[in-house]
Amino acid sequence: MAAGIRNTNTSFGQKQKLDVQQQLKFLNKPALKSIKSPDGDIIDCIHINKQPAFDHPFLKNHTIQMRPSFHPEGLSFDESKDVSSKSESKITQLWHLNGRCPEGTIPIKRTKEEDLLRASSVATYGRKKHPQFNTDVTVKGDGREHALVYVEGGKYRGAKATINAWKPQVQEHDEFSSSQILILGDVSGEGINAIEAGWQVNYELYGDTNTRLFIFWTNTNANQTTGCYNLLCSGFVQTNNQIGLGGTLVPLSDYAGSQYEVKFLVWKDPKGGDWWLQVGDKYLLGYWPASLFSSLFDSASEIHWGGEVINLQKGGEHTSTQMGSGHFPDEGYSRASFFKNFQIVDSSNILRAPKNSSTLVEKPKCYNVINLGSRFYYGGPGRNPNCL
């Protein structure tokens, strides 16, 4: 009996090891240069034409677009390179301390064996366990909790916000805390199309509790779900050699101290139809090709700005995973986390403040939001005497 169990385990272990090695080979493209970050990450500088996007069947003969035909802030891209942030919020990435990727390459965080072994399966690494998007607070049981501002019912061609960056504490390794912009396609039909960009603490994905820049996209239909975080599947086409998706952000905001923030802008190029991403004032990161999507092919029907956590209710108690700064929004500036200058790109491709925005909070005694118009504060500590 014991020998039989041992043999079964051995064959399973060998298959898992083979699966892991094959997936690592698929994810980690040959590097022209590698940089070791102080946080233990290895950043590989991959030739721009060898990036994971081009493994996608729709992108086999794709011609890389190095810049969009249109910018909603009216910037030409030569000008945008010279625009510096006017706030105190110069955030960079930790790996920059040890080097940069050369022109013609893009930085990709190397996936390690232990990353894949943390996932529930090798095939699902980089996917979302909780992919449902819904502003209906009556939907229960998926573990996600929010404090956000949203608009719906229009034809949206993009969104913008400057997000205050913090390091929330996360209770369980399979929970996370994120703050992001979410762009959602029409949810009335079959499947969900979504784009996200922001920052998150996600141990299961990264193996640590650092605050990291992230993107996510998905296209679900009756037959299959595509999409992933960062560059962990084919899809997003990166054009920038300075910023690594999934890279650690530094410095971060201090309670009642210095505040740091990151600007995100996502918009649909009216000429090519691709969804472009800019981070900060000068980093045009790349784009999600229009061909990845169905309900986002023309425009989005909802935009969400705010925080999201997973609450697994371990031991029957609400999680102590923090959202934002871990403090309630009524504490205000330098204590609560905020989004400012949040805007939409409307159906005429004009960047403007949203009209008739709403808020969504499932458990206001755990996490909450206060919308002040051009800025909102959000977040909270999770479990506390009023949130059990």
Rounded Cα distance between 26 and 23, Å, is: 5
Please give the Cα distance from 104 to 47 (Å, whole number).
6
Which of 175, 261, 302, 308 is labelled catalytic? 308
114 catalytic? Reply is no
Question: For residue 154, which phi and psi values (nearest 5 degrees)?
Answer: -105, -175
Distance CA 124, CA 147 (A): 27
- Residue among 327, 307, 345, 341 at smallest CA distance from 382: 327
Specify the residue for token string 């029907």: 301
Decide if 172 is catalytic.
Answer: no
Q: Residue written as tokens 């309630």? A: 328
CA distance 288 to 188: 22
Cα–Cα distances (Å) from 12 to 9, 15, 21, 116, 297, in that order, read 5, 5, 14, 16, 42
Catalytic-role residue among 145, 196, 204, 302: 196
Q: Report how far residue 368's alpha carbon sits from residue 382's, in angstroms, rounded to the nearest whole number.
A: 10
The DSSP call for residue 48 is G
Residues involved in catalysis: 196, 308
